[in-house]
Amino acid sequence: MRGRGFVFEVVRVALDAIRSNKLRSVLTMLGIVIGIAAVITMVALGQGAQQAVQQQIASLGTDVLTVRPGSGWFRRGGGDRARLTMEDVEIVRRGATAVEGISPEMDQSFQVEYGRANGNFRVVGTSANYTDVNNREVDIGRFFDMQENQGRRRVAVLGSAVPEALGVAPLELVGREISIRNISFTVAGVMEEQGSSAGPFSSDEQIFVPVRTAQYRLMGTDEIESFNATVASASSMDMATMQIEEALRRAHRLRPGESNTFWIQNRADILGTFQQTSQTFTYLLAGIAAVSLLVGGIGIMNIMLVSVSERTREIGLRKALGARRRDILVQFLVEALVLCLAGGALGIGLGAGASRAFAEFAGWNTLVSPEAVTLAVAFSAAVGIFFGLWPARRASLLDPIEALRYE
């Protein structure tokens, strides 16, 4: 190659050419700016959604199995046997050795009152180990214990959003009486906020009571909605699943070949599906945005062709003075590259700004990752080279004497 002196000249000529047609250069760049900004924003939205899902996984713990009656979210099926009861929970507790903790949930909505304040809340009857199994913390006060469950005591633990919904400070409520379905309960504690990161699994607006209290005093049934089971380690997940299935099939007297009357859900699987969906979504958005980048690239090619034909005489002169084909090629490629990279830099700034605006005003989770920025830079460079190559090649192949004669 020609060394540093040549590189310097090439960049200088490129900048000169861009500066001498400021308006035109800016308009051309705009295509790239918009394209890159769109890619950055779309990827930020997609990756933000993915990040939210990842946080859900982390906050819920993946070593949890959820067992529900029926054969899917909306398919109950299986008739009378498609019910889960506290008895089933006992059978699993005894039969599935790989299961560490097990926590049932039965829930129903009730009118809840505190003084003059009242509201409708989902009341969840569960066991004392709910917090351990579901990886939750109590913020103020305490959760109820096993004795209170055995004794069917009227204690309640509130989700973090409940006091506010009743218009009372959380600290004031602890130790006081609230009434659920006109039955008086003592508030033992308030849960820590789970937040929006828990997405569809958020339980901030629920009220927790001992499951035996719920069974005998509130709901009058031993049928439960679901139970969660933790396993000792992620590797014993399959083992636990098998044991639960076996125990429940026997309890429900299912013959071989008959399908399950319950389904065992693995949270990692659900969240994995969520994540895959959001990733596909990211690619789709980025793909659409990339189309605008393509349009920007065509703009670059167009303007480079104009630039080459405008500067035909200059190219002829440079060749007369000893420029080789490659020198001319590099010169025009660098010009296209500078346009695209400058546009790319502005586009990254604009895209980051737009992502922040989305986060700020629409409350969407967005993430401008270094990978996305690197990708954008690489992409704009690639656009510059790809769309600059043909005009640059045309310039480099010009015949020196014809170029010099060009009017």
The residue ranges that bind other proteins (CB under 8 A) are 2-6, 8-9, 16, 20, 313-314, 317-327, 400-401, 404
Report, in Å, the least distance between residue 392 CB and other proteins. 16
Report, in Å, the least distance between residue 335 CB and other proteins. 14
Of residues 80 and 407, the one with the C-beta less far from other proteins: 407
Report, in Å, the least distance between residue 397 CB and other proteins. 9
Using only the alpha carbons of the chain, give its radius of gyration: 33
* DSSP classification of residue 75: B
Provide the CA 338 distance to its chain's centre, in angstroms. Answer: 35
- Spatial CA neighbour of 209 closest among 135, 123, 97: 123
The distance between the two most distant Cα atoms of the chain, rounded to a whole number of Å, is 104
> Distance between CA atoms of 43 and 376, rounded to whole angstroms?
10
CA dist list (Å): 363 to 28, 51, 140: 33, 14, 28
Of residues 158 and 395, the one with the C-beta less far from other proteins: 395
Report, in Å, the least distance between residue 381 CB and other proteins. 24
Look up residue 2 and give its two tokens.
């020609």
Report, in Å, the least distance between residue 309 CB and other proteins. 17
Helix (H, G, I), strand (E, B) or coil at 30: helix
Of residues 16 and 223, the one with the C-beta less far from other proteins: 16
- Spatial CA neighbour of 134 closest among 212, 59, 245, 240: 59
Of residues 6 and 298, the one with the C-beta less far from other proteins: 6
Phi, psi (deg, nearest 5) at residue 197 = -65, -20
> Distance between CA atoms of 392 and 385, rounded to whole angstroms?
9
Look up residue 157 and give its two tokens.
């633990």
Report, in Å, the least distance between residue 390 CB and other proteins. 19
Of residues 250 and 326, the one with the C-beta less far from other proteins: 326
> Distance between CA atoms of 315 and 333, rounded to whole angstroms?
14
Look up residue 86 and give its two tokens.
């506290």
- Spatial CA neighbour of 138 closest among 84, 71, 233, 203: 203
Of residues 250 and 405, the one with the C-beta less far from other proteins: 405
Of residues 21 and 59, the one with the C-beta less far from other proteins: 21
Phi, psi (deg, nearest 5) at residue 141 = 80, -140
254: left (phi over 0), alpha (psi -120 to 50) or beta: beta
Report, in Å, the least distance between residue 57 CB and other proteins. 57
Report, in Å, the least distance between residue 27 CB and other proteins. 21
Of residues 15 and 138, the one with the C-beta less far from other proteins: 15
> Distance between CA atoms of 87 and 72, rounded to whole angstroms?
21
Instruction: Judge whether 364 and 274 are in contact, CB under 8 Å.
Output: no
Report, in Å, the least distance between residue 21 CB and other proteins. 11
Q: Could you give the residue ranges of the DSSP H alpha helices within 61-140?
A: 86-95, 130-134
Report, in Å, the least distance between residue 42 CB and other proteins. 40
Of residues 24 and 142, the one with the C-beta less far from other proteins: 24
Burial class (CB in 10 A: 0-12, 13-18, 19+), 272: middle
Instruction: Judge whether 263 and 77 are in contact, CB under 8 Å.
Output: no
Of residues 247 and 323, the one with the C-beta less far from other proteins: 323
Report, in Å, the least distance between residue 29 CB and other proteins. 20
Of residues 1 and 362, the one with the C-beta less far from other proteins: 1
